[in-house]
């Protein structure tokens, strides 16, 4: 459905329409994902941190700074989120022996088990864009990268 019909609105120009369309589509796509995370007691940033920790397990333990560089939301308070994950037994956290201001973080077996249980989520995410051909997804990625170049 066209964005004009979906929102029953008008736009100043195609740029305004594109931005509203992008924002609206992202919110629609992420709603189901957030509900799935909620069932497992996680927020998006918590899930993102667990995925980073699992993906870089061979380099563990990781610093808060290392994790923050890889977060989807760069404004996340990684230390606070790690504290919450630690309290839930999903990560280990300890002081760096050479710099007590730094924390070292790694994922626990409980955290790994939770992610394994949630791996179907990854498959669900893949289906969100399944109405696009592989070439269209590549073009979408190219265009989104181009948009971010201007935003940086």
Q: Specify the CATH number for the domain of residue 49.
A: 1.10.10.10
- Does residue 85 share a domain with residue 29? no
Give the domain range for residue 64: 42-116
Instruction: Give the pLDDT mean for 71-99.
Output: 92
Report pLDDT digits (tens) over 107-150.
999 999 999 999 877 777 778 888 899 999 999 999 999 998 97
HSE-CB at 110 with a 13 A cutoff on CA atoms is 9
- Does residue 55 share a domain with residue 94? yes
Report pLDDT digits (tens) over 6-58.
888 889 999 999 999 999 999 988 888 888 899 999 999 999 999 999 999 99
Nearest CA-CA partner of 37 in 124, 127, 131, 128: 124
- Does residue 110 share a domain with residue 57? yes
Cα angle, residue 42 at apex, residues 36 and 44 outer, rounded to 5°: 80
Give the chain's domain count. Answer: 3
Please state, for a pLDDT cut of 90, what percent of the chain lies above it. 65
**Torsions phi, psi for 9 (to 5 deg):** -135, 180
């Amino acid at each position: 459905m066209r964005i004009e019909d979906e929102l029953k609105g008008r736009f100043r120009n195609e740029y305004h329409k594109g931005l509203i369309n992008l924002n609206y589509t992202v919110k629609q796509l992420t709603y189901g994902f957030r509900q799935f995370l909620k069932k497992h007691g996680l927020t998006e940033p918590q899930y993102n941190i667990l995925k980073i920790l699992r993906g870089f397990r061979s380099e563990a333990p990781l610093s808060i700074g290392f994790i923050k560089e890889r977060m989807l939301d760069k404004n996340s308070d990684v230390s606070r989120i790690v504290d919450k994950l630690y309290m839930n037994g999903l990560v280990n956290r300890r002081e760096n022996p050479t710099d007590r201001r730094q924390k070292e973080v790694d994922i626990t077996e409980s955290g790994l088990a939770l992610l394994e249980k949630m791996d179907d989520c990854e498959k669900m995410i893949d289906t969100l864009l399944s109405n696009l051909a592989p070439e269209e997804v590549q073009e979408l990625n190219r265009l989104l990268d181009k948009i971010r170049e201007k935003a940086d």
